[in-house]
Structure 1
Amino acid sequence: MKNIRDVAKKANVSIATVSRVINGHDNVSEKTKKKVLKAMRDLNYRPAPSYRNTRLFKTIAILIPNLKNSHYGEIVMGVESAARENGFDLFISITSENPDMEYESIENFFERKIDGIILSEFFIEKEKLEKFQKLNIPIVIADFKDDSVFLDSVNTDNFNGAYKAMQFLYDNGHRNILHIPGPNWSPAARDRINGINEFIKNNNDVKISFTSNRGYFPNAGRIAIKNYLKDKGLNFTAIFAVNDLIAVSVIDELKRQNINVPEDVSVIGFDDSPIAEYFYPYLTTIRQFRWDIGYTAAKLLIEKILNPKSTLPRKILIPTELIIRDSVKKIN
């Protein structure tokens, strides 16, 4: 039995284009429309009637890059809770930070009939994303700040979270601080650096250093601190890691080099991931509320679905919270 994907392949167009033709949208050229209709006739494809304009499908979708740790899992749980409360089903697609997989997943959503999409850390080209916006399918961004995209978004307040981490280290006497940053592509990592720089601007007696190695996963932290110590030695009293996974791997590497935390070096993380309160020394960190990000994003999306009148995009920042445990020592 032929489906919309077969039609798209035969006509050499996207699934979204076939969907536009089937649903009578006028933003398709006459030439393309004829090509799609011919492919449908050749394949004897008869689409099921579209009810998009008369009723809801009661289904939303979320794209996430991975499920390697609890971060995206908690966001999805928040989305699912809001969806269930409002009687919506949820599709989940894991795209492995691959733009082609993201584009294919979004096209597949059209075939499956969804009412709206949540994008979390998308890597798709803006031009491709705009094609889907023109179909008037509501889209909300979760956990990926991109002001160049004219869409509703929900993010952690990474800027003030980083400022809060620096303030805590400062209040505990630390003036030489090393930051292990996240990857260049990450808006969250950039916002945390911006928060650090703002703190330095307001407190010029603090010296901040950065490792040349960066990343979000444990091996990056181990390599970063090992290389930094080899090149520059122990010229800091505290480390601010971009996330808890990096912080934990750094503490482990410091132990291997007979540098104790927090006696010799203090460490603060970001996230408050589950490991933070079970790895010794128990990690002081900045908590971000991942479930709330997902829940709020889904509520925004469902509101847009149920009330489709055009409004200016809403940019929501979820505040962070300082969680004090044992990995930061007060010094003179």
Structure 2
Amino acid sequence: MHDAIKCMLAGKNVIEPIWFGEKEDMTSYRPYIPALCDLLRADPRKFELFDPAMILMQIMPPDPDAAILTKLLEQLPGNHHRGTSILKMLSNYRIPAEVDISPVLALIGDDYFSTTAIFALRKTFHPEAEEKILPLLREELRHDIGLMKIYCDTLAVNGSILSMPVLMAVSLDFERPEDKEYFTDAIKSICSRLQMPEDIRAQFEDPAFWKLKWEGSPEHFAGFIEFLALFMVSGETEGGKKEDMIAGIFMQEMDVDLSPYQSFEAVRLCSSPEMMMEGLQNLKNNLECNVLMNALTEGTNILPSTYTLAQDLYFDLMNDYLMTRLRRHISFAAES
């Protein structure tokens, strides 16, 4: 194979179909790695038996140094022909923190390379990776468990507490226990990496923990649904059907007690306009209170207490779970 690689590097076609020995020592081939990396940018030649990416996959050391990985990453931008091969190679290694992986991050969300770019980070932690991956997972509606395994493997390494509600919410798209296990394993890995106490871990790993409970009255719930139907959910229906549809979805994804009513339709028909308006007013007041507090404290030295920060984080996590679930059913006006 030495002669074949030298021919490739000289720009000549290799005609003889040869390959590495079954147990051949690859050490002597490693000096070719930098030149083969440079060759990844070259356009494929007609009738070429060997591709530089194929050779590199065979001769790369199990733990390449930062210089080799940097060389690989430099070949990635704009490389449509061999971008996928480069990303698959990178997926085998834990890339050191000093190596710039922005070429991989830039491909997360790309129509062609996104999934392979996420896969490339399955062994590498980077603080920006989670921020790039979570928006895609929130909107992912394809029930492709192979794709979900890639998300789970990478978030197990890169995810923080912010990944947990999204992982748990998406796991409900799958019924088989073996499919759900990918998501719970990712959550467990995040908990272990963050060294969370056992009691908190048990809560985060429990699907029931993430289901929000409606704390208001049935009439206030009807007012809340009325608000959503009017201002936030796209689509036109008549005679309360839209409200009933939205309420059914929220009751599926939340813990809502409508007693003594038997159904949401009964709440809607029996509630007076004044009661529903009271629910809307409470919602409006809460929103205005949050906006006012943010405006008053902006630019000051007033900092929220640790308890307030923890409470805000809790509600952010629960809301992220709920919104991820709701997007499976509802097209919100701001997103349509």
Q: Place the TM-score, normalised by the shorter chain, in its bin.
A: 0.3 to 0.5
Q: What TM-score do you get using the length of structure 2 for normalisation? A: 0.32
Higher relative contact order (CA 8 A, sep 6+): 1
- Rg larger in 1 or in 2? 2
Q: What TM-score do you get using the length of structure 1 for normalisation? A: 0.32
Query: 1 or 2, which has the higher strand percentage?
Result: 1
